[in-house]
Structure 1
Amino acid sequence: MNKKVTLKDIAIMQSGIYMKTDSQGEVRYLQVKDVNSENKLDYTQIATVINTGINDKHWLKNGDLLFAAKGGSNYCIQYEGTERSTIASSSFIIIRPVISNILPEFLCCFLNTSSILGMLKNAAVGTGIQVIPQSVMGEIQLDIPSIEVQRLVVEMDRLRKEGECIRSEIDILKQSLQDQLLMDSLK
């Protein structure tokens, strides 16, 4: 039986940083708008900022998790990029696992479960823009399964998402076929 741990026991957590964007900047600045509908980072329109002495702790590392903690849409994504080229905005809580027996992609799947997201949404504060406090996230408890089980969970999640995409494509094709049949019948 695994012992329950809290997120703050297995990861360093910190807020992203607020900076003014600048088209002349050399540092990529990830914002919520850079996440597409499949919860993947879209680098095509990413803003930049000028490095005015950005603290080392703010540079994203490959495998860091970004949790969108502000606003009505909360989710976790994994950063897969180069170090010392990208920082995250203050809309994100950066979660950096510090133990070797947890896969970042597993932790990301765990944080994206409806039960965890629902619990976090209920703990959000603020009257205008809802914000999930980092302290609340740090208290999330989980059991850490074996690496093999973590890999299986991650693969199941990938296959589920792939299935959703395929179903969506099928629905679009069905609608297109129906529209075409309707149009042909009116000729």
Structure 2
Amino acid sequence: MNLAPELIESGSENEAREGIEMAQLGDSSVLGDLVKIRTGIQSGGSAKKRRDTAKECDARVIKVRDVTSEHTIDYERLTTISTDADLAEKHWLKSGQVLFFGRMGQRYTVLIEGDVPQGVLVDKFFFVITIRNREQVRPDYLAWFLNSGPAQKFFKANESGSPHGFISKATLDKLPIDLPGLDIQERIGAVWSRWKRKKQAVLEALDSEGQLIAAKLDQAAWSGIHEQ
């Protein structure tokens, strides 16, 4: 299995190629044997199927609009809802989980890492993936693999619905996944993280340059009007 050009584009070509070759020598499995997959909560008002006597709590919900172009979450911008406290406590977002979005022709992951604020839930349009045993698979490797060429090819061949297909839980469960050793997984995850940081830096630089160019053009246009 070819483990994707994404690593090659990271700037560490030799390390990436070596990691890919060693990953191909690892064991193989299917995703459903390694993780627990559930859908996020339904956060709309009609979804609050609870008794009037149920204890409620405030929770912040990650929606599709809250995912940045770098596939990270800005927790400060999340919408706050009131929901069933007992249900919410079973579904609080935790570091090390992976969010998967596979709808409307888009397929991407969000790796949840670092400090996660208390009281965060995930909207129903995401799958929340929890690794059963981190001695088998690392979260960063899993997040990368779900974005890799082989995984995307599998999703494309098995998506449901039309014209814009979606990826079902059953399809995720059946995804074949290569499992190199944890040291190789760590190296691949590190390369992928460096590539994401590099991409973010480039996007921020382009955005800053675009704002500067726009300001200069506005100034030039304003000056031209007053010179007439």
TM-score (norm 1): 0.81
1:92 aligned residue: 126
Given that residues 27 and 180 in structure 2 are in contact (C-alpha distance below 8 angstroms), is that contact kept between their aligned partners in structure 1?
A: no
Given that residues 59 and 83 in structure 1 are in contact (C-alpha distance below 8 angstroms), is that contact kept between their aligned partners in structure 2?
A: no
What is the aligned-residue identity percentage? Answer: 22
Greater shift after overlay, 142-151 or 73-82? 73-82
Q: After superposition, where does 1:113-152 map in structure 2 within 5 Å?
A: 113-127=148-162, 130-152=165-187
Deviation at 1:158, TM superposition (A): 1.7
CA–CA separation in structure 1 for the residues paired with 2:196 and 2:183: 20
Contiguous gaps of at least 5 residues in structure 1: none
2:43 aligned residue: 19
Q: CA 1:143–1:77 in 2, change beyond 3 Å: closer, same or farther?
A: same
Matched, 1:62 2:86: no
Q: After superposition, where does 1:147-162 map in structure 2 within 5 Å?
A: 147-162=182-197
CA–CA separation in structure 2 for the residues paired with 1:71 and 1:112: 16
CA–CA separation in structure 2 for the residues paired with 1:170 and 1:29: 30
The one-letter code sitting in structure 2 at the alignment partner of 1:100 is R
TM-score (norm 2): 0.68
Deviation at 1:160, TM superposition (A): 1.6
Greater shift after overlay, 118-127 or 148-157? 118-127
More helix by share: 2
CA–CA separation in structure 2 for the residues paired with 1:41 and 1:165: 14
Per chain length, whose mean CA-contact separation is higher, i.e. which structure has more relative contact order (CA < 8 Å, sep 6+)? 2
Deviation at 1:129, TM superposition (A): 5.2
Q: 1:124-176: per-residue Cα shift (whole Å, max 9, x none)?
A: 22236532111111111122212211111111112222333344456567775
Contiguous gaps of at least 5 residues in structure 2: 1-24, 46-56
1:8 aligned residue: 32
Deviation at 1:88, TM superposition (A): 0.8
* Greater gyration radius: 2
Q: 1:69-128: per-residue Cα shift (whole Å, max 9, x none)?
A: 222322111223447611111111111001122111111011111331242133222236
The count of corresponding residues between Structure 1 and Structure 2 is: 184
